[in-house]
Amino acid sequence: MDDAVIRADLFDGVAASVETALLGKSEVVRLALVAMLCQGHVLLEDVPGTGKTTLARAVAAVAGGDWRRVQFTPDLLPSDVTGVTIFNQATREFEFRPGPVFANVVVADEINRASPKTQSALLEVMEEQAVTVDGERYAVPSPFLVVATQNPVEMSGTYRLPEAQLDRFLMRLSLGYADPAAEIAIMRGETLTSPDDLKPVLSAEEAELLRGDARRVFVHDSIYEYILRVAHATRDRAELSVGLSTRSTVAMARTAKMFALASGRPYVEPEDVKYLARPVWAHRLVPSPEASIGGRGGADVLEEILRDTPAPTPGRPAGPAAG
């Protein structure tokens, strides 16, 4: 694929635009954009005040299209998210009033502050790209992306997201605190752009072009086998109650292709899988009660599995492009 470098330049330009609103977080910005281009939903988890909402709004702004923000609170109802059927006095008929999920990009702010019932209202639309209200099914616009933020579950007033909903997120990312130099620049207000002032820099046609090229990125069979070996190891691990599903392995292969393209390569390397393992896989793993008591999470077990599972020899493989 001779155009791989050109595609990487396009991706770099989009990332640079987002970074004008969020200093010192280049790595997280790039991963969030990879997830967006894969048409996968993103969960941003961190303590308040680290820029989660700013990143979500910035990604929505540069992608263009229609976007909505929902502030999740304990009193938020499912109908506040999906929409409601009302009786129109003028027409003497029932009509559907769409909720904020009917947008190309939905920013779900502090999603784990809402009740589990309201959280589950997002489950169908994230997977099916449609909602069902009063027995009627309504499709949301395409493309459709949920960028959700959440505070750590240890904080008061939060509800743990169910495993079924966590599995719908392609990636879980954490911004962390800014480094000292970036934080000083933020306090000074240097070179910061408000997400409201960002202009769309990635057209729908360009996004589809990137997706089409990503589908043609070459993945050697040894890398597919490596992904499967890691997944099988999580399923056999006593420290994990729930290992990686087939959905997880497909998600990794799809994400690795887009990540390779964004890096200017028409092929996937083993290091791509290792680098993406934590954001793509860790949130899907459920530690056993014994592991939890011992303070070990899914990410800790995954790191051990990656160390113990031999990776294919790195290097550019030969062969035709794989779909």
Domains of the chain listed by start with CATH number: 1-187 (3.40.50.300), 217-314 (1.10.8.80)
Which pLDDT score is estimated for 28? 92
- The 10 Å CB-count burial string (b at 16+, else e) for 210-229 is bbebbeebbbbeebbebbee
List residues bridging with 42 in a β-sheet. 147, 171
CB 297 within 8 A of CB 194: no
**Total residues belonging to the chain:** 323
Q: What is the CA radius of gyration of the chain?
A: 20
Which pLDDT score is estimated for 319? 43
Which pLDDT score is estimated for 144? 84
pLDDT in tens, the chain (323 residues): 456 677 889 999 999 999 888 877 889 999 999 999 998 999 988 777 777 888 888 888 888 777 888 999 889 999 999 999 888 888 888 888 999 999 888 888 888 888 888 888 887 788 888 998 888 899 998 778 898 888 776 555 667 777 778 888 999 998 878 778 878 877 887 667 888 888 889 888 888 899 999 999 999 999 999 999 999 999 999 998 988 999 999 999 999 999 999 999 999 999 999 999 999 999 999 888 888 888 888 889 999 999 999 999 855 444 444 44
Which pLDDT score is estimated for 231? 96
Which pLDDT score is estimated for 187? 80
Which pLDDT score is estimated for 153? 60
Which pLDDT score is estimated for 59? 86
Q: How many CB atoms lie within 10 A of CB 208?
A: 12
0.75 cut: is pTM over it?
yes
Which pLDDT score is estimated for 107? 86
Amino acid at 297: G
Q: Comparing C-alpha atoms, which of 321, 138, 303, 164 is closest to residue 237?
A: 303
Tokens at residue 143, please?
């493309």
- The 10 Å CB-count burial string (b at 16+, else e) for 128-154 is eeebebeeeebebeebbbbbbbbbeee
CA distance 1 to 212: 12
Which pLDDT score is estimated for 306? 95
